[in-house]
Every structure is written in structure tokens, then in C-alpha cells.
Amino acid sequence: MLYYNLHTHKATNEPDIFELVNQYPQEFDASIPNYSIGIHPWYIVENRLEEDLKIIEGKLSDENCLAIGECGLDKRIEIPFDLQEEVFKKHLALAEKFKKPVVIHCVASFQELIKIKTDLKISVPMIIHGFSKKQELAKQLLDNGFYLSFGKYLLRNPELESVFKSIPNDRFLLETDTVEEKIQEVYEVASRYKNLEIKDLKDIVETNFRSIFSEK
């Protein structure tokens, strides 16, 4: 049974790992077998926006393109927030058109994120990657239909244990993002927090992944 890694910036190509590798439109690598593609809010270039979105749309029919993202909202950067919202909504329109899940970067913008999902009546799965917040916010996001993915903060912040324990088993995924630690290490911590055998955790994550991505 495979380890499933929802979000990583570095392909390992290890045979026992199914990984969704983050790609940017201007740095596309056709050799990566399974990927998501999007404009991260940090890297929005306004005068290149239409070009980048055109590249993204061109990849969405590729069977190896499993999701849009990471994309999203971040109030702690200098990119104007209204521009971030505009770009994010364009991603969501493509997600709906091509029926692709969305991998989301969200910093200090969760209420705006929930409002956009509600207002636009988004039907595709939306996954908050790298979740690290409190149980109350986790519940609010779950109640609004989001999935939560856990990774580096699960490894680094013991206070996240109680939050992770509270997440229903059918609503979480695991990831490495940019950290050096392997996905196996994330699974080890997650299995301990959930009081599960690794094989049972792998079964749960694979089921969730297949449910979201309709993986064959």
C-alpha cells in the first residue's frame, strides 16, 4: 500500500509514494507524473497573469494534472488583497470548468475563503494544505466542506495533536510541502496521534485521496 503525499514541491519518484507535486506555470516540468498547477499568491505577476492562466488551463486536460493549486489568499504579503481574490476566483472558475480539486494556501484569510466558497457555490473539493490552526477554525472549515491537509506543523508543533485527533478520518490528508522530512515521518506522527497502525492510516489516507481525486 502506498504513502500518499497531498502536496510537495520536490518529486522523490520513490516507488512506494504517490505524490502530488506542486508546479508553477512558468517552471513547468513535463517529466513529473502527477501534479497540481497554479499561481501561488506570493508569485502573482499582474502583467503576466493572463499568460499564466492560459498555461494553467492548457494543462488541465492532461490526465497527470490532478488538481489546481496551490493558490489562495495571504494577508501577510504585499500583493494587494483584491488582486489575490481576483486571481483566486479565476482559479476556482477553472476548477469548476474542468472539475478539478483545489489545493489552497491560506494565511489570515479564512473567513474570506469561506465566503468565496459559499458565494461562488464551489462544488469541487477544496483542500487547505499545511493546516496549523486551532480546533474551532478546523471545525468551521470542516462544517463548510473543506478538507484539511497536515504536514510540517504536525511534525513541529505538539499543540496540533489535539486538533488533528479531532478531525474526522474521512476529512484529512497528509503532506510534506517544502520540508526535508519524508512523508513516512508525517505518517508516523499522525498514526501515533490517531492511535492507528500505519497500515490502517495508509488505508484511510488512500481512501480519502481516491475520493477527492477519483484516482484510478
pLDDT tier at 100, thresholds 50, 70, 90: very high
Spacing of C-alpha 203 from chain mean position = 19
Q: For residue 214, what pLDDT is reported?
A: 82
Task: Quote the pTM value.
Answer: 0.96
The residue among 95, 39, 86, 97 whose CA lies nearest residue 67 is 95
**Residue 215 is placed in which grid cell?**
484516482
> Which neighbouring-strand residues pair with 103?
69, 127
**Residue 60 is placed in which grid cell?**
488541465
Name the maximum alpha-carbon separation found in the chain.
50
pLDDT tier at 215, thresholds 50, 70, 90: low
pLDDT tier at 216, thresholds 50, 70, 90: very low
Which domains, from first to last, does the chain contain?
3-213 (3.20.20.140)
**Residue 93 is placed in which grid cell?**
472558475
pLDDT (tens digit, 9 = 90+) per residue, 158-181? Answer: 999 999 999 999 999 999 999 999
pLDDT (tens digit, 9 = 90+) per residue, 55-64? Answer: 999 999 999 9
pLDDT tier at 10, thresholds 50, 70, 90: very high
